[in-house]
Chains A and B, each alone.
Chain A
């Protein structure tokens, strides 16, 4: 456990409904270390615990065993200190607040004064290329735009870490690729550490420095694949190296299926799509 890690997960096990008939081991003895400034994707079929792992890092749930350290402190302390921003599959904007006031929400909770948080919100909206929509309401925006506002909100208080739970999962293919490119750009501009949960193999490969492949029942990390494609741009998507990494991740996911202790339900691995 070096203080230099952005996220340190050591021997974490998470069991739901302990002692009840529906007891489920969502994660078993998972360890993962994420360097500052790194983008790590968590990928795997439904039920592999990738979202649970993200929620453990966020201290939205607590491990049954093991330890989670964020920014060198216990996950709970990191949450209290606002060390991370979070984005979910649903943008989850508050419909009664304007776009700018949505971005201001975390600043409001931290007690920033009105003028300062407005200024910060406008800066963030410029970062996600929505400066003209500050006074619109969320329901006037498209899904992709709403998700950008959610990212602006997650970044508004300048946390070193960004936790994203399938943030582009509900978007159409075109918007999705566009948002991926936007995330690459935003990350280059801000230098944030990002933990990114996804169902999509190309998305994981395109965005990440490392792809963490997980398997279900119980959730474990089965492979960690380094993705060294250099700077990403639209040409990356047509690069031979990009495709060979996609193949590598796909094969790692197939291996999950092959080594699974019990037969997987049909479609369990299909939960990971090839988009």
Chain B
């Protein structure tokens, strides 16, 4: 088990190294053939402005954000990632609660499933870019009982939740419906009320379906939070940094890549947290390799 875990970590690291080697390899090749092969232009420019060296990007983390500023790019990116992490986690948790609630209602009432499921699916076809300004527009117009004035970070959380709830709702619904007829009838033979059947049978049976759904939801929440920051103009997060740094890309090309790398690592971190939860929750389930 621990061996397998080390293997996973090793493979992940190897992936990073491979990516760096590919990056540098392309740059070298682009330089060697001067940007075109047999008269065909290569799709991406490999010069230092478009594709700075890996080590330049790594170095950039340790340098000041702006000339003369005390804060390094690394610190700025870390602060941004922390902000976005909290937004994504908030959205993820709300998404999970909403998704589970929808799944329970849809499982419980067939009519609700028929009525709700199409809208659940439809909800994901609404472009985020169209939705974001709408939610952001609540600012100044909406005042909540406990939270007070609607603030722009709340819009980010709501949009992250909007993306996260969908895989949870669909996965949980399948999971809640997964128990065999015999299992359901067994509970009925005990005159077990539906609420208890939900706890004792349907939720535990849904866990294997929920695990991949939660991973998707976590990734969606991160993407949602980043996109929402950008389209609502919320300050403080990694999405905002990507926009700010990309404006400086001509003069300081390595800078924007630091933010991009941080966003990718953030996604990995969130996926890792969900995987850890999954490993704990599923520790006593049959393994596929078990005889």
A interface residue numbers (CB < 8 A to B) = 55, 58, 60, 79-80, 82, 84-86, 88-90, 92, 94-96, 105-106, 108-109, 137, 139-140, 163
A58 and B186 form a contact (CB under 8 A)? no
Instruction: Tell me which residues across on chain A come within 8 A of B190, comparing CB atoms.
Output: 82, 105-106, 109
B188 adjacent to chain A (CB < 8 Å)? yes
Report the minimum CB–CB distance from A39 to chain B (whole Å): 19
Contact A90 B290 (CB under 8 A): no
Surface stretch bound by A, among B57-65, B145-153, B196-204, B243-251: B196-204
Taken together as a complex, chains A and B put the C-alpha atoms of A139 and B288 apart, in Å, by 11
Cβ contacts under 8 Å, B286 to chain A: 95, 137, 139
- Interface membership of B67, Cβ < 8 A: no
Q: When A79-B191, A80-B191 are in contact, do A96 and B284 touch as well, CB less than 8 Å? A: yes
Nearest 6 interchain pairs by C-beta: A139-B286, A88-B182, A92-B182, A80-B191, A86-B189, A96-B204
Interface size on B, residues (CB 8 A): 20
A163 CB to closest chain B CB (Å) equals 8
Residue from B180, B183, B191, B196 having most chain A Cβ neighbours under 10 A: B191
Q: How far is the CA of A86 from the CA of B191 in the complex (A)?
A: 12
The smallest C-beta distance from B176 to any residue of chain A, in angstroms, reads: 15
**Which of chain A's residues have a CB closer than 8 A to the CB of B204?**
94, 96
B192 at the interface (CB under 8 A from A): yes
- A96 and B180: CB pair below 8 A? no
Q: Contact between A88 and B285 (Cβ–Cβ < 8 Å)?
A: no
The docked-state distance in angstroms from the alpha carbon of A27 to that of B190 is: 25
Chain B residues contacting A90 (CB-CB under 8 Å) are: 180, 182
The chain B residues found within 8 Å of chain A, CB to CB, are: 180, 182-183, 185-186, 188-192, 196, 200-201, 204-205, 207, 284-286, 290
25 CB contacts below 8 A, A to B, read A58-B185, A60-B189, A79-B191, A82-B191, A85-B189, A86-B189, A88-B186, A90-B180, A90-B182, A92-B186, A94-B183, A94-B205, A95-B286, A96-B204, A96-B207, A96-B284, A96-B285, A105-B190, A105-B200, A106-B190, A109-B192, A109-B196, A109-B200, A139-B290, A163-B189
In the assembly, what is the distance between CA of A96 and CA of B281, in Å? 10
- Given the complex of chains A and B, what is the CA–CA distance between A18 and B286 in angstroms? 42
Contacts A90-B180, A94-B204, A109-B196; is A79 near B189 (CB within 8 Å)? yes
Residue in B182, B189, B191 whose Cβ sees the most chain A Cβ within 10 Å: B189
Give the shortest distance, in Å, between B279 (CB) and chain A (any CB): 15
**Docked pose: A88 CA to B207 CA in angstroms:** 24
Complex: A109 Cα to B185 Cα, angstroms: 15
| A96 contact set on B, CB distance < 8 A | 204-205, 207, 284-285
Measured CB to CB, the nearest residue on chain B to A76 is: B191
In-complex Cβ contact of A60 among B180, B185, B285 (8 A):
B185
Please indicate the chain B residues that have their CB under 8 angstroms from the CB of A79 in the complex.
188-189, 191
Which chain B residues border A82 with CB–CB below 8 Å? 190-191
Least CB distance from A124 to B in Å reads 16
**A88-B185, A109-B196, A139-B286 known; A94+B191 contact, CB < 8 A:** no
* A262-B285 Cα distance, complex, nearest whole Å: 49
**Min C-beta distance of B75 to chain A, whole Å:** 45
16 A-B pairs besides A79-B188, A79-B189, A86-B185 with CB distance below 8 A are A55-B185, A60-B189, A80-B191, A82-B191, A86-B186, A89-B182, A92-B182, A95-B286, A96-B204, A96-B205, A96-B207, A108-B200, A109-B190, A137-B286, A139-B286, A139-B290
